[in-house]
């Protein structure tokens, strides 16, 4: 994400609004420092699904919700305005606590993306019993990080949501699965890597996320 931002930064006007939308966490704090007080920074999280069948075509493969929220002071004041401007985006709503929603989406990413890439399976196949304990341990570690950040995310809710998404997107391959399959960079550092880094910061052990991070990094190059 940082590389992408550096490419467009020279072309941003004084009053540009920047909207981020990607899997995982990180980078918001860094980008906030690089924008002026006149440039609004938003994050848009989505549970809609798509499949990139070739270099030029992305197919819509699953419906879902879209939520946008402000990440700096100017954006927080203008969330209603940007939501109105983007009203053509399906199922778009606004929130004043995007960090909570980003972490909730992170939980889904942790449960699905790395395992589907590592084992080369569709999302729905992760509901099989052999993956249960790993998913529980991964999300338990993430919940411990959420608690340290004063976010209200419970393990049971995280598991329920993750398995619901697995069911709704059962026939889909995750974005990380496709990145690995096509030898592209992955977002593992913003997913398991984020939990690993925060674990070091808060002195919380994250062995399952550390292990999955290492395995995906060994498998393919990462962002």
Return the CATH fold of 99-219. Answer: 1.10.1040
The whole-model pTM stands at 0.82
DSSP letter for each residue of 63-117 = ---EEEEESSHHHHHSHHHHHHHTTTSTTEEEES-HHHHHHHHHHHHHHHHHHHH
Strand partners, 44: 68
| CA-based nearest residue to 202, from 141, 114, 136 | 141
Determine the angle formed by the axes of helices 132-148 and 207-219, rounding to 10 degrees. 110
Q: What CA–CA distance (Å, rounded) separates 107 from 121?
A: 19
Kindly report the number of other CB atoms within 10 A of residue 209's CB atom: 27
Kindly report the number of other CB atoms within 10 A of residue 15's CB atom: 10
Looking at residue 55, what is its pLDDT?
73
Looking at residue 28, what is its pLDDT?
83
Looking at residue 37, what is its pLDDT?
92
DSSP 3-state of 44: strand
Looking at residue 54, what is its pLDDT?
75
Listed by start position, the domains of the chain span: 2-97, 99-219
Indicate the CATH number for domain 2-97: 3.40.50.720
pLDDT by 10s per residue, the chain, length 223:
777 888 888 889 999 999 999 888 877 888 888 999 999 999 998 877 777 777 788 888 777 789 999 999 999 999 999 999 999 999 999 999 999 999 999 999 999 999 999 999 999 999 999 999 999 999 999 999 999 999 999 999 999 999 999 998 899 999 999 999 888 889 999 999 999 999 999 999 999 999 999 999 998 654 4
Looking at residue 220, what is its pLDDT?
63
């Amino acid at each position: 994400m940082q590389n992408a931002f550096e490419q467009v930064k020279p072309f941003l006007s004084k009053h540009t609004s920047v909207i981020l939308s990607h899997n995982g966490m990180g980078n918001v704090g860094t980008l906030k420092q690089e924008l002026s007080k006149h440039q609004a920074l938003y994050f848009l999280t989505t549970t809609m699904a798509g499949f990139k069948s070739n270099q030029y075509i992305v197919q819509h493969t699953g419906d879902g919700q879209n939520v946008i929220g402000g990440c700096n002071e100017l954006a927080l004041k203008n969330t209603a305005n940007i939501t109105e401007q983007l009203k053509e985006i399906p199922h778009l709503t606004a929130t004043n606590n995007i960090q909570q929603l980003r972490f909730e989406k992170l939980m889904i990413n942790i449960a699905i993306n790395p395992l589907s890439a590592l084992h080369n399976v569709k999302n729905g196949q992760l509901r099989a019993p052999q993956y249960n304990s790993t998913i529980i341990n991964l999300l338990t570690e993430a919940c411990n990080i959420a608690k340290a950040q004063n976010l209200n995310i419970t393990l049971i809710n995280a598991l329920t949501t993750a398995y619901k998404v697995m069911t709704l997107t059962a026939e889909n391959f995750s974005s990380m699965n496709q990145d690995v399959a096509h030898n592209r960079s992955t977002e593992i550092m913003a997913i398991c890597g984020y939990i690993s880094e925060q674990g070091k910061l808060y002195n919380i052990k994250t062995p399952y996320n550390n292990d999955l991070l290492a395995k995906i990094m060994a498998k393919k190059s990462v962002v």
